[in-house]
Amino acid sequence: MDIYNYLKSLHLIFVITWFSGLFYMVRLFVYHAEAKQKAEPEQSILITQYQIMQYRLWYIITWPSAILASFFAYWMLFFTEIGQVWLTQPWMHVKLGFVFLLYLYHLKCHQIFLQLQKNEVKHTSGFFRLWNEGATIILFAVVFLVILKNAVNWIYGVVGIVLFSVLLMLGYKFYKRIRESKS
């Protein structure tokens, strides 16, 4: 049990840093897309700075955190008795499905990151704000699954965060209209 708690602690630390990296990376995508609309020389200065920040965040924090979180999870699940029991439970199967979605999300962020490193901005800042909600929904689903250990009750929490996200986006659009009407 002692080794399991160390593994769980390390797993949780790297899950937190992984999500932090994903949240901040997409925020940098928003800033990059907005900088593309600026006039020179401001545009070049901002984009160069954002590319440096994205590169460092992605390769020094986000990717290593994803790998280490997965490494400690794998160790917990396959090399401890508790983990092997959890692998037989339906809530864990659903959780692993969300982890798979998180990796797909991460890989799509990697694709966007590579585009932005070449200064190819294919999405708007609004798209990136909405894209950031994907990681939030996955985070809520996984936390509810792990805490409740129920393959069904997590749905209420996720529905709540989706509704909250919709309210945030409506608020953002309302704020944007007010800001644009003042300019």
* Residues contributing to the annotated binding site for heme: 11, 95
- Cα 37 from chain centre: 25
Pairwise CA distance, residues 49 & 83, whole Å: 43
How does DSSP classify residue 159?
A: H
Token pair, residue 68, equals 């280490």
The torsion angles phi and psi of 37, rounded to 5 degrees, stand at -90, -10
Annotated binding site: 11, 95
Q: Are 49 and 56 in contact (CB under 8 A)?
A: no
Question: Among candidates 65, 75, 88, 90, which has minimal Cα distance to 153?
Answer: 90
